[in-house]
Amino acid sequence: MIVIISPLKSLMEEQVAYLNSLGIAAVCITDEANDHAMQDVIQGKYSHVYASPECILATTKWRYIFASKLFLENLSGVANDEAHCISQWGMSSYGRRKESIPFRKWYGNLCELVSLVPSNVNFLIFTATATQSTTDCILDSLHIPVKKVYTVKRSPNRNNLRYSLQYIDNNMPLEMVFRGIINEVFQKGATTERTIIYCQT
């Protein structure tokens, strides 16, 4: 079993639905989870368990789970998805006059989770947006020595993505603005490449 720390409930639910569609037993545990759901986690019913830092660290339910011998025997890893949230949301920032309160303080306390799991359990950290200084901040926050870290770096560049910036006159008819896309849809139908359009409001 692997526990995945994720920042957004909607993201967790989407990933759980996808895994379930593949026949992989996954669940999203929230603050509202009942005792039956928590027992299923302890018993190892799921191979992927999603939860937020707040749910895991701020509730006694998860403390109880991490104290369970059966749960720890089934636990093979803890993954932190979108780990840049540790430095962006979990840390106090120092302003000119006073220290600000973290946006989501439990992200800054994830080192507690590292201390709750046995040393043989893998702790995985995933992010596509961390600079080296952000990575250093994450490892420092989690109290993970650099010598114990194995880093895999891949370029976030996606060759299948293209960006285009176009100035549009407010008086230009929409049919003219989107003529190229409309023509492509007529020609290619369902095989048209996906397009996301951002407009300044």
- Tens of pLDDT, residues 82-101: 888 888 887 765 444 456 77
What Cα–Cα distance (Å) separates residue 18 from each residue in 22, 41, 143?
7, 19, 33
pLDDT band at 201 (very low <50, low <70, confident <90, very high): low
Q: What is the pLDDT of residue 94?
A: 43
- Tens of pLDDT, residues 133-169: 888 888 998 888 888 888 888 777 778 788 888 888 8
Q: Check whether 118 has a pLDDT greater than 60.
A: yes
> How is residue 56 written in tokens?
């895991």
pLDDT greater at residue 114 or residue 158: 114
pLDDT greater at residue 201 or residue 186: 186
Q: CA 109 from chain center: how many Å?
A: 16
Residue type, 173: P
Indicate the class that CATH gives domain 2-148: alpha beta
Q: What is the pLDDT of residue 95?
A: 45
DSSP 79-141: EETTTTHHHHHSS--B-SSSBPPPSSGGGGGTHHHHHHS-TTSEEEE--SS--HHHHHHHHHH
Q: What is the pLDDT of residue 163?
A: 81
- Tens of pLDDT, residues 4-55: 999 999 999 999 999 999 999 999 998 888 889 899 999 999 999 999 999 9
